[in-house]
């Protein structure tokens, strides 16, 4: 199977723009980990577009590499999809980007190693995700649309872009005057209460209404100048709520039956209310980088396995691995 691995930032999606250092570093980590897990699978021939500025990625000798720069044709991705049997996209959900790439793949009748475009689009909308999950009685952090009529109802509010990536664009507000000002300036934002607790994520696999937990992870998030910043994550930490989390995954799988492949779920573990869901990431997340060294599970191999069967999640080791985003 010829597999096109398209990581948007490293793969030329921003070839005509400056590469943001932090996003490029995180993207390179995920792309490198994915390539390292795919390169030894006998049935896979890799096709990888790569921005010429991202030359620190270690590439397998047998991969087909297409170097991309600002002179490359704008439709290079469509041409590469046509050459592939299957496509594994890695891209931000914001502005419909990941959903659009997924739709391009399906439009060319190629195998998509991702959730359906409709589900990707739903997960990219934090308010729509909240409304879908809360209807299924899944415990979530309260999420409201931010608009001119929004009351300042939380002691401390967290404002986030409706389709933002991770901590991107988040603003923590504890001043009523600033809240009034921001709600008149910001568009397409949501508001959530600031909740104290441990930020965690679940790395999972999903297929046709079923879900499997790979690892629990702790996120190191810092608050600087009213904004959240993810600096690192500890992968494969002890699961404090094993029964609760498996039940949660089962409920999510039923609520979103077209979730497919690797999925990251962000939550906050609170003292009073227990774990509350924040968002669902329908793509590889930073925690993916640490799963293989922590557990010995080749997640990419298990995703390929999903095409024909159910995954065989059998850890061969148990370590906690810290993925330092800005230290790599």
Q: With a threshold of 0.75, does the pTM exceed it?
A: yes
The predicted pLDDT at position 309 comes to 94
Tell me, yes or no, whether 203 and 92 share the same domain: no
Give the contacts of 307 (CB within 8 A, at least 6 positions apart). 111
Mean pLDDT over all residues of the chain? 92
When divided into structural domains, the chain yields a total of 3
167 pLDDT more than 80: no
Please report which confidence band the pLDDT of residue 149 belongs to, taking 50, 70 and 90 as the band edges: confident
The predicted pLDDT at position 166 comes to 64
Last residue of a domain, one of 193, 216, 231: 193
Tell me, yes or no, whether 131 and 237 share the same domain: yes
Nearest to 245 by CA among 272, 277, 197: 277
164 pLDDT more than 80: no
Q: Rounded mean pLDDT of 38-54?
A: 94
Q: What's the pLDDT tens digit per position in 267-308?
A: 999 999 999 999 999 999 999 999 999 999 999 999 999 999
Q: What is the domain extent for residue 211?
A: 123-137+196-324
Residue 306 sits in a domain of what CATH number? 3.30.470.20
Tell me, yes or no, whether 10 and 62 share the same domain: yes
Please report which confidence band the pLDDT of residue 328 belongs to, taking 50, 70 and 90 as the band edges: very low
Tell me, yes or no, whether 163 and 257 share the same domain: no
Tell me, yes or no, whether 20 and 93 share the same domain: yes
Tell me, yes or no, whether 200 and 309 share the same domain: yes
Tell me, yes or no, whether 30 and 72 share the same domain: yes
Tell me, yes or no, whether 132 and 262 share the same domain: yes
Tell me, yes or no, whether 131 and 254 share the same domain: yes
Tell me, yes or no, whether 224 and 107 share the same domain: no
Residue 27 sits in a domain of what CATH number? 3.40.50.11770
Tell me, yes or no, whether 187 and 203 share the same domain: no
């Amino acid at each position: 199977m010829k597999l096109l691995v398209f990581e948007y930032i490293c793969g030329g999606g921003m070839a005509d723009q400056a590469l943001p250092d932090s996003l490029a570093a995180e993207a390179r980590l995920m792309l490198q980990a994915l390539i390292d897990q795919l390169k030894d699978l006998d049935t896979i021939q890799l096709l990888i577009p790569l921005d010429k500025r991202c030359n620190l990625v270690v590439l397998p000798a047998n991969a087909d590499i297409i170097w991309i720069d600002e002179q490359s044709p704008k439709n290079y991705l469509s041409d590469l999809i046509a050459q592939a049997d299957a496509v594994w996209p890695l891209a931000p959900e914001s502005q419909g980007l990941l959903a659009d790439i997924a739709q391009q793949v399906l439009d060319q009748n190629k195998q998509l190693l991702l959730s359906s475009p409709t589900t990707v689009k739903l997960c990219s909308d934090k308010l729509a995700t909240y409304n879908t999950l809360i209807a299924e009685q899944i415990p979530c952090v309260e999420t409201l649309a931010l608009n001119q009529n929004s009351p300042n109802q939380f002691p401390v509010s967290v404002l986030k872009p409706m389709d933002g990536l991770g901590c991107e664009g988040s603003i923590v507000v504890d001043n009523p005057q600033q809240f009034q000002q921001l709600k008149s300036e910001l568009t397409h934002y949501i508001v959530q209460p600031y909740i104290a607790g441990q930020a965690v994520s679940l790395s999972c696999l999903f297929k046709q209404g079923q879900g499997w937990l790979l690892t629990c992870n702790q996120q190191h998030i810092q608050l600087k100048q009213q904004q959240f910043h993810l600096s690192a994550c500890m992968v494969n930490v002890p699961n404090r709520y094993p029964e609760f989390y498996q039940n949660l995954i089962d409920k999510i799988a039923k609520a979103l039956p077209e979730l497919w492949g690797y999925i990251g779920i962000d939550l906050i573990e609170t003292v009073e209310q227990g774990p509350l869901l924040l968002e669902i990431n329908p793509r590889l997340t930073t925690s993916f980088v640490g799963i293989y060294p922590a557990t010995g599970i080749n997640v990419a191999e298990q995703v390929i396995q999903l095409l024909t069967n159910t995954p065989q999640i059998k850890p061969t080791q148990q370590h906690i691995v810290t993925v330092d985003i800005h230290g790599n």
